[in-house]
Amino acid sequence: MVEEADLVIEPSGVARNATADTSTLAGCAGAYRVAVATPGMLLLGDANPSAEGRARVLMAGEIVTRMTVMEVINVIATANWRGTMLVATPLWQRRLYFDQGALKGAMSSSEDDRLGEVIFRSGGISRRDLERVLSDMSPTDRFGETVVARGIIDQAQLFQFLQRQSVEIFHGALLAGEGYYVFHLPTDEDDPVGTQLHIPIHGLLMEGVQRIDEMALFRERVPSSQMCPVPVPDAPAPKKLDETAEGLLRYCDGRRTIEELARLTGHGEFATTKAVYHLLQAKMVTLRRAANIDVETVARLVASFNEVMQDIFVAVATYGGVAQTRATLDAWIEGSGYGPFFGQGMDDFGCVDAAIISQALHAVEHDSPVEALHQALHELAAFALFSATTTLPRDQELTLARDVNRRLKLIRIE
């Protein structure tokens, strides 16, 4: 894929800006010299590096593998350098602030790294409360101070979440497999804003390497965080199971995804995935894909079929056949295998409850539960029409059949 150029150098050697957005280069106003000119790379250096406020670049280059960022940070930690490292990929930029062999702070352009998202993933705030807080905030408000003021979390929890945010940004930077990095000595503008941390770099690197290696192993059995762990009935307790996995098992109900379990327990995605992997190894759980259920689609489908069923019941009610028709349909539901779809069955008017069905679908083991529901409702309506033939006169039976079949053809999932 060819990316849009920011700068174009003509065959004559004249350079010109190739984009209408000058904000990137505007922050670098000044005189430059060509430090390196080689095919595929042009490196410009400040013509006056001693000028006040200019950052001195110690290392810069292209990220060619996932080991690149790791190796550069290891050099920084070993040399005990103080400075700022920018890791830039086509999707995001992350800045890491280092001093005395420790991570002092971190910033990121990725929405997943925002403090609110970190607190949400950690189970400290609900999605609804997060959206409400964000909508109420003014441009000058700080998210952390706002959630503490509202009593959603306390000051000690905020500090823990800020530390977790910086650690996640650091680990996210290690995953960069393409892009560029720059490490430069700090300027007055490069000090991390807000809470100052002190997290040893070598410990973070060791944890990061461990996470990358272990997650590759876990993904062989746990393909994504959208899988639902299902407890194995009467599974014998293993001789050895760590506390995290043991505690997580109590929350596994076959409906909650690994992502939801991570929020519920506050363990985070990595620790939760690790616990699920150990539960799988111990044969305490199995995995199934989370049901992709659009509640609005279910409600629309059920409402359309309910209208058809009501008309069938009204027709048979004229001849006193409601009780017989309902009993026949209840027996059909029980024997058809569609019982789990319909929850408590039909009411006196032949209708089923959309809310109950939506809830019931989460427990149905099917790759496409809404499509399966659509099929089940079609078969239910068809059998209801068939049952009505024992009650209705021939002419009314034909009229009702034409009307019902026409309407059923119009009911679609999308």
User: 349, exposed or middle or buried, with CB in 10 Å at 0-12, 13-18, 19+?
Assistant: middle
Separation CA 325–CA 316 (nearest Å): 8
Burial pattern 239-265, b for ≥16 Cβ within 10 A else e, equals eebeeebeebbeebeeebbbbbbbbeb
pLDDT at residue 192 is higher than 70 = no
- 66 within 8 A of 174, measured Cβ to Cβ: yes
Helix, strand, or coil (residue 320): coil
pLDDT at residue 373 is higher than 70 = yes
Query: Structure tokens of 194?
Result: 């807000």
Q: Which of 13-22, 267-276, 382-391 has maximum average pLDDT?
A: 267-276
Residues 208 and 92 in one domain: yes
Residues 202 and 254 in one domain: no
Stretch among 136-145, 251-260, 353-362 having the lowest mean pLDDT? 353-362
The CATH code of the domain that includes 264 is 1.10.10
Evaluated on CA atoms 297, 300, 304, 306, the torsion sign reads positive
Separation CA 414–CA 335 (nearest Å): 29
Tally of CA atoms within 13 A in the half-sphere of 389 that contains its CB: 7
Q: Which of 186-195, 240-249, 362-371 has maximum average pLDDT?
A: 240-249
Residues 261 and 134 in one domain: no
Output the pLDDT for position 21: 67
The stretch 128-147 carries a mean pLDDT of 95
Residues 67 and 115 in one domain: yes
Say if 349 falls within a structural domain.
Answer: yes
Output the pLDDT for position 75: 95
pLDDT at residue 320 is higher than 80 = yes
Say if 374 falls within a structural domain.
Answer: yes
The stretch 374-400 carries a mean pLDDT of 87
Say if 16 falls within a structural domain.
Answer: no
Residue 331 phi, psi (nearest 5) = -65, -40
pLDDT band at 25 (very low <50, low <70, confident <90, very high): confident
Output the pLDDT for position 145: 95
Output the pLDDT for position 52: 64
Say if 68 falls within a structural domain.
Answer: yes
Residues 305 and 174 in one domain: no
Output the pLDDT for position 297: 87
Residues 146 and 237 in one domain: no
Give the domain-ending residue among 289, 305, 328.
289
- The whole-model pTM stands at 0.71
Which region holds residue 343: left if phi is over 0, alpha if psi is between -120 and 50, else beta? Answer: left
Say if 45 falls within a structural domain.
Answer: no
Tally of CA atoms within 13 A in the half-sphere of 192 that contains its CB: 25
Separation CA 201–CA 166 (nearest Å): 12
Residues 266 and 349 in one domain: no
- pLDDT tens-digit readout, 217-264: 999 999 999 899 999 998 888 878 889 999 999 999 888 999 999 999
DSSP 4: P
Query: Structure tokens of 100?
Result: 């005395």
Residues 90 and 132 in one domain: yes
- The rounded mean pLDDT for the chain is 87
The stretch 304-312 carries a mean pLDDT of 91
Separation CA 112–CA 133 (nearest Å): 17
Say if 32 falls within a structural domain.
Answer: no
DSSP 181-214: EEEE---GGGSPSS----EEHHHHHHHHHHHHHH
Say if 101 falls within a structural domain.
Answer: yes
Say if 26 falls within a structural domain.
Answer: no
Give the domain-ending residue among 179, 213, 247.
213
Stretch among 34-43, 53-62, 266-275, 361-370 having the lowest mean pLDDT? 361-370
Output the pLDDT for position 37: 81
Length of the chain: 414
Residues 64 and 209 in one domain: yes
Separation CA 194–CA 287 (nearest Å): 42
Of 374, 381, 384, the C-alpha closest to 413 is 374
pLDDT band at 95 (very low <50, low <70, confident <90, very high): very high
In this predicted model, which residue has the larger pLDDT, 294 or 323?
Answer: 323
Residues 242 and 333 in one domain: no
Range of the domain at 89: 60-213
Residues 206 and 65 in one domain: yes
200-207: long-range contacts at Cβ-Cβ below 8 A with a sequence spacing of 24 or more? 200/101, 200/102, 200/103, 201/73, 201/76, 201/77, 201/98, 201/101, 201/102, 201/103, 202/77, 202/101, 204/103, 204/167, 204/170, 204/171, 205/70, 205/73, 205/74, 205/77, 205/174, 207/171
- For residue 260, the one-letter residue type is E
Separation CA 397–CA 140 (nearest Å): 69
Output the pLDDT for position 1: 46
Give the domain-ending residue among 190, 213, 236.
213
Residues 69 and 189 in one domain: yes
How many structural domains are present in the chain?
A: 3
In this predicted model, which residue has the larger pLDDT, 161 or 342?
Answer: 161
Separation CA 60–CA 73 (nearest Å): 12
Of 68, 330, 33, the C-alpha closest to 177 is 68
